[in-house]
Every structure is written in C-alpha cells, then in structure tokens.
Amino acid sequence: MNLKTLVLLSVMVLSTTSVVRAALVDQIPGPFVPVTYNSVNANLSQYDLGASLPNLSNFATAFENFTFASSGVIDSFSWIGQYEAISPGPLPVGGPNFEISFFTSLGATAGSAIPVATFNVGTANETALTGAGAGFYSYTTTGTPFNVVSGTTYFASIVAQLDYGIAGWGLAFSNTNGDGQSVQDFGDTSLTRFTDTVDYAIAISAVPEPSSVAAILTVAGLVAVRRRRVAK
C-alpha cells in the first residue's frame, strides 16, 4: 500500500467517523414554531395516574416513526410538548415523569403495540419555551441507550405520567424534516387508532456502537503509524 493510498484511507476513515457520529433525526425547527393540525398544536400522549374504571389509564399514546442511515446507540432524545390545563391545580414541580418506548411494529389494532425497549427518563429537564405560546415546553434526555440498525423503521412513544385531572399533556406537532406520518392510540374507555398526516417535534441522535468505534480507531491508528514510518 503506497502513501497516496494510505492518505486516501485516512481521509475516508475520518469522513466515515464524522458521518456516523452525525446520525440524527431532527424534526424540531429552530426556533420552534407551533404547528396547527385538526385545530390543535399537540396530540395527547399520557398515562392518567388518576384514572378509575371504566376510564383507561393508557388513554392516549402518540407514536412517531424514524429511520437511521447508520447503525448506532441512541445517546440523546429531545422533544417538544404542550400542557392542556384541566384544573387550576399546580403542575408537578419540575414536570411529570416521562416514559419513552421503542417499537419495531405497532401491531394490527390500537393498544396492541409491544415495545422492544422502554426507559423511564424522569422529568427530562423540562424547560418552558418563551415565545412559542402558552404551555409549550422542551425536553431532553440521554437516558435512552437503545441500539438502532441502519435502514430499519422504528416507532417511538413519549408518554407523560400525569393525572389528567390536573392537566393534559401532548406531544407537539412538527412540519420539519419528517415524512408527514404519525399515529395516536386514543380513547376514554376503549382505544381507537388514528393515523395522522403530521409529524411530531422530536430529535434523536445516535453514536456508533463501541465495537465500530474501536475498529475505526484501529484502522486510523495503523494509518497514522504507517505515515510516521514513511516520513522518517
């Protein structure tokens, strides 16, 4: 292998590393601007901690699909949500707890989706958004280390654990960088599946798996050693 080939390989390694580390699904516009769909800015996605029969606790779950061009491990998950005030009672300090789940299929009927991974991410650094309108908040977490395979379509749900008697919480809509498709399972006493022509405001990033990083660094190291020997 001559020096020209080694230099080219080095450039390719660095380029590959950059592309993989930039694996990103970003449907949050900057700055965030509310999107109206069916006369609202968000779809409810909530587990009602105060529900009693015949009302369902899991009465509303919003799902967004995503696909990565390269395999890796999710290291950051962000989203925008909106509160729907139900009573004058105070919201939970720091926000409600959130549960993020990943799916490879949503099943044939509402409520039949079985997650392949679920993470409780706490309040996810809830922060009020200024200038976006009433009730909008941003969230971000690094607590979803889920392995994604390139080219595979996944679905993600973000569900607030919150008494609906205090407030409703929904995942905000987006018209940025998505495919214009999302799903919501919703119903007070029985669930119905709704397929919507709008996306949700989420952003997900992934980094290479440790084995991939090691392989890349090994090749880069060999190239560097060879170049130093040639330079002597």
Residue 192 has pLDDT above 50, yes or no: yes
The predicted pLDDT at position 6 comes to 35
- What is the residue-wise DSSP string for 89-113? SPPPTT--EEEEEEES---SSTT--
Q: pTM (2 decimals)?
A: 0.81
Q: What is the pLDDT of residue 227?
A: 39
Q: Which residues contact 196 (CB under 8 A, 6 or more apart)?
A: 37, 38, 43, 181, 182, 183, 184
What integer pLDDT is reported at residue 211 of this predicted model?
52
Mean pLDDT of all residues in 121-147: 92
In the chain, where the domains are located: 24-209
Assess whether the previous peptide bond of 31 is cis (omega < 30° from 0). Answer: yes
Are 68 and 206 a contacting pair, CB within 8 Å? yes
Say yes or no to pLDDT of 13 above 50.
no
Q: How far is the C-alpha of 138 from the C-alpha of 172, rounded, in Å?
A: 10
Count each helix (H run) and each strand (E run) in the chain, helices first: 2, 16
